[in-house]
């Protein structure tokens, strides 16, 4: 779904219909907006830091190119940003030339960009959704000192940026991701919570993404004695619906599902998950891994109790799905959720059969 959804329309047509989930099913589970490919924005690694530095300064961004990039990121936090810089030899293919150099000189520009890429664990030409890239910057570079400039410089060539010692970057860093990309409002999340909870309570069929059956289990196992709804998602409500009606059909769907609408990571404009460090990518793999282990596909519908029996028989541990089978994290995008050896909460829910009677 590409158009935004105002609250009046949302309330009128209901969360799931409004978000196009019915049409997703008829389109073999492929959300319409996955075909819309945003244009890649090329930028220099130092410009990523400069944006944070300007935000820290607290005034207008000033620089037209930086302002343009930030506006595009705020408009669409998933817009791909590609980091291009001076690189010799095998990465020369992506060298953008010196037009984007800051006044500190070509040599300094080349080193600063490579310093930044090295700290980010990336290489020239790497592209990521903007939200991921800024989160990666925040996680890996907390200061501009010794990156954008040096307290004592060894030669004029290495004087660096005059703002490097100003503390602006550090202030921008302290403000965090919400200063770059404003978060979803509490009011919108609360409205989506109310509407989506009502949809679950009235649903004849639940629409759940495959690995969320496991997340429901982790949620249940962590709160067996104190199971209660939370504002941030609908895991409780989905469990409650199944406990009340163990044979309620569940359709396994692609992408975000009935559990997602109140979540901070849920993008109400697109219906996509914008969770950090490529959460959507990890979640897609987890969904496919669950389907493969269960011998099912998107669009399959089974009674909840039957589906859970299969889940617990064929997937004894979160290590098999959320720990990628071997518990190894090979990149930030492929982080492991919880204990790499398997979350004990899932084990508890598996033993308790998610609290289903009989
Ligand atoms: S370990 Fe897996 S199933 Fe459990 S909460 Fe994390 S992503 Fe969900
Ligand atoms: S993090 Fe993403 S997949 Fe998980 S509940 Fe939130 S929107 Fe849904």
Q: How far is the CA of 42 from the centre of ligand 2 (A)?
A: 28
**Cα–ligand 2 centroid distance for 297 (angstroms):** 20
The answer to whether residues 250 and 304 touch, using CB atoms and an 8 Å cutoff, is: yes
Q: Where are the beta strands (DSSP E) in the chain?
A: 41-43, 80-83, 127-129, 206-208, 249-252, 266-267, 272-273, 301-303
Q: Which tens digits make up the pLDDT trace of 194-235?
A: 999 999 999 999 999 999 999 999 999 999 989 999 999 999
How far apart CA 32 and CA 34 sit, in angstroms, is 6
Which residues does ligand 2 sit against, CB inside 6 Å? 233, 256, 259-260, 263, 265-266, 273, 275, 279, 283
Cβ neighbours of residue 66 under 8 Å, at least 6 residues apart? 47, 50, 51, 54
Q: How far is CA 232 from CA 9, 181, 255, 263, in A?
A: 22, 19, 17, 5
What CA–CA distances, in Å, run from 235 to 209, 241, 298, 319, 348?
12, 10, 20, 20, 16
Backbone angles phi, psi at 256, to 5 degrees: -65, 155
What are residue 197's phi and psi, to 5 degrees? -65, -45
Is pLDDT of 106 > 60?
yes
pLDDT above 80 (res 3):
no
DSSP assignment string, 175-229: H-HHHHSPPPPHHHHHHHHHHHHHHHHH-SSEEE-TTHHHHHHHHHHH-GGG---
If you measure from the C-alpha of residue 149 to the centroid of ligand 1, how many angstroms do you get, rounded to a whole number? 42
Q: For residue 259, which atom of ligand 2 is closest to its CA?
A: 5
Q: How far is the CA of 281 from the centre of ligand 2 (A)?
A: 12
Query: What would the pLDDT profile of 298-314 be if each residue is shown by its tens digit?
Result: 999 999 999 999 999 99
Question: Where are the domains positioned within the chain?
Answer: 7-28+184-355, 41-180
d(CA 48, CA 51): 5
Token representation of residue 356: 């289903």
pTM: 0.89
pLDDT, one tens digit per residue, over 235-277 is 999 999 999 999 999 999 999 999 999 999 999 999 999 997 8
Query: Cα 241 to the chain's mean position, in Å?
Result: 27
Beta pairing class for 249-252 and 206-208: parallel
């Amino acid at each position: 779904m590409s158009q935004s959804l105002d609250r009046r329309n949302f309330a009128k047509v209901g969360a799931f219909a409004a978000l196009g989930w019915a049409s997703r099913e008829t389109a073999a589970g492929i959300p319409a907006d996955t075909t819309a490919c945003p244009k890649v924005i090329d930028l220099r690694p130092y410009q990523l830091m400069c944006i944070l530095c300007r935000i820290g300064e607290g005034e207008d961004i000033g620089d037209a190119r930086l302002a343009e990039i930030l506006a595009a990121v705020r408009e669409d936090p998933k817009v791909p940003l590609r980091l291009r810089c001076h690189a010799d030899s095998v990465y020369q293919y992506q060298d953008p030339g010196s037009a984007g150099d800051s006044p500190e000189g070509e040599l300094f520009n080349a080193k600063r960009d490579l310093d930044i890429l090295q700290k980010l664990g990336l290489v020239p030409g790497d592209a990521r959704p903007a939200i991921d890239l800024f989160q990666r910057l925040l996680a890996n570079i907390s200061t501009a000192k010794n990156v954008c400039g040096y307290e004592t410089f060894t030669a004029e060539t290495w004087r660096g940026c005059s703002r490097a010692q100003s503390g602006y970057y550090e202030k921008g860093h302290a403000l965090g991701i919400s200063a770059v990309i404003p978060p979803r409002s509490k009011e919108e999340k609360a409205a989506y919570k109310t509407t989506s909870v009502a949809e679950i309570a009235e649903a004849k069929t639940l629409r759940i993404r495959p690995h969320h059956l496991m997340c429901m289990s982790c949620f249940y196992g962590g709160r067996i004695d104190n199971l209660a709804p939370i504002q941030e998602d609908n895991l409780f409500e989905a469990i409650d619906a199944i406990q009340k009606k163990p044979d309620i059909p569940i359709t396994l769907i692609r992408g975000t599902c009935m559990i997602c609408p109140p979540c901070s990571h849920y993008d109400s404009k697109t219906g996509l998950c914008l969770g950090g460090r490529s959460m959507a990518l990890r979640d897609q793999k987890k969904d496919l891994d669950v389907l493969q282990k269960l011998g099912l596909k998107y669009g399959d519908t089974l009674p909840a109790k039957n589906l859970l029996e299969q889940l617990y028989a064929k997937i004894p541990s979160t290590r098999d799905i959320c720990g990628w089978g071997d518990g190894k994290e090979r990149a930030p995008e492929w982080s492991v959720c919880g204990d790499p050896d398997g979350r004990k909460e899932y084990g508890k829910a598996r033993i308790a059969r998610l609290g289903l009677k009989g």
